[in-house]
Amino acid sequence: MAVSTGRIVAGALGVALVAGAAGGAIGAAVAGDSGDTGEPAAAAQAPAGSSCDVASVAARVFPSLVTVNVQLGDAGGLGSGSVWDRDGHILTNDHVLAPAVGGTVTVDFARGPAAVPATVVGRDPATDLAVIKVDPSAARLTPITVGDSSALVVGQPVVAAGSPLGLNGTITAGVVSALSRYVDVGQGDDAALLVNAVQVDAAVNPGNSGGPLVDCAGRQVGVNSAGAQTSEAAAGGSIGLNFAIPSDFAGAIAAQLIENGKARHPILGVLSVTVTDEMARSTGLPRGALVEQVLPGFGAAGAGVRAGDVITSVAGTGVNSTDQMLAAVQEHSPGDTVEVGFSRAGAAQRVTAKVSEP
């Protein structure tokens, strides 16, 4: 993808958010293998603070890692992605594909063949996620194991994989610096928001976009999407302030793109942050999505949800994070009504709320 897709100056601090792209002329988100089901494997999270053998992580991730190449006429660019299932679906960022819409897409496997033709299955510019597909017989497909992004904690070691500046099969290591970031990466008239993003200090540079952020067991917990730069060094590399889409949310969008070629964006109408284990211990709040703001005119407001409530379930599905809440809402269509469970001042309550569109 092209570098030009991602640079945004954010406020008076002079920080630019840069989508991790590398461009040519276009411009410069249950332990074990997924088996034969064709679906990405899910896994429980490694305990926070456990040691991280980066060499072992790399060995587990590389068979699932790809470089995504896009070409439109004489112009081209690249990004990264992860093999999502045995049907040939690959998860990446939308801004990897955007500069070459109508052109060609190929992938290079970090541990496999290069220049494998791919087709676009679905794009969702609003969340900066996309799915492409290769012929399952074109390469040996190793779906990445998917972890639980809701279990991430600040300070936890993580590893980013991708193709910065086109250097295929690159690993960088760091820690989770913060959680529940909302990062505007839209360009011009194209709105795009990284929802409940994971902030990390692992280096993410142009070409890393769409690649997996993984835990110390090699399980994907995010999709590397954007990095920040000071305005004085906007042409430089990573400054250790980078963002990934949590895997819980990315997986919900990917499922819709695979099934329908597009994603809906149903909402309850709340802005929230995740109540982490650490936050729960210090405040006495339950795990869930802590409502910071209720948007007037939407379902949550009509149902009586208030700022300070902690949403713990949606339609009978337990949620312990903002991205799990969003993923649960994604299972419904605008106009549906769902039961929302929440805690208010320590008391469990349930209301029925209408799912809306933004």
Task: Return the number of other C-beta atoms located less than 10 Å from residue 139's C-beta.
Answer: 19
CA dist 10 and 280 (Å) reads 31
Q: How far is it, in rounded angstroms, from Cα 283 to Cα 190?
A: 39
Which residues, 6 or more positions from 242, have their beta carbon under 8 angstroms from its beta carbon? 20, 160, 199, 200, 201, 202, 203, 204, 224, 226, 227, 228
Query: CA-CA distances (angstroms) from residue 308 to 50, 246, 299, 315, 343?
Result: 33, 23, 17, 20, 9
CA distance 315 to 329: 8
The answer to whether 128 is a known catalytic residue is yes
Catalytic residue among 85, 124, 128, 248: 128
Nearest to 266 by CA among 351, 338, 321, 332: 332
Q: For residue 220, what are its two tokens?
A: 């994907």
Indicate the residue type of 255: A
Residue 323 annotated in active site: no
What is the spatial distance between Cα 145 and Cα 29, in angstroms, rounded to a whole number?
13
Q: Is 80 a catalytic residue?
A: no
Q: Which residues of 216-226 are buried (b: 16+ CB within 10 A; e: fewer)?
A: bbbbbbbbbbb
315, two tokens: 């339609």
Q: Of the listed 209, 247, 272, 343, which one is catalytic?
A: 209
Q: Where are the alpha helices (DSSP H) in 4-159?
A: 54-61, 94-97
Beta strands at 8-10 and 15-19: parallel, antiparallel or unpaired: antiparallel
The SS3 assignment for 249 reads helix
User: Residue 310 CA to chain centroid, in angstroms?
Assistant: 23
Which one of the listed residues 34, 80, 82, 95 is annotated catalytic? Answer: 95
Q: Which residues are catalytic?
A: 95, 128, 209
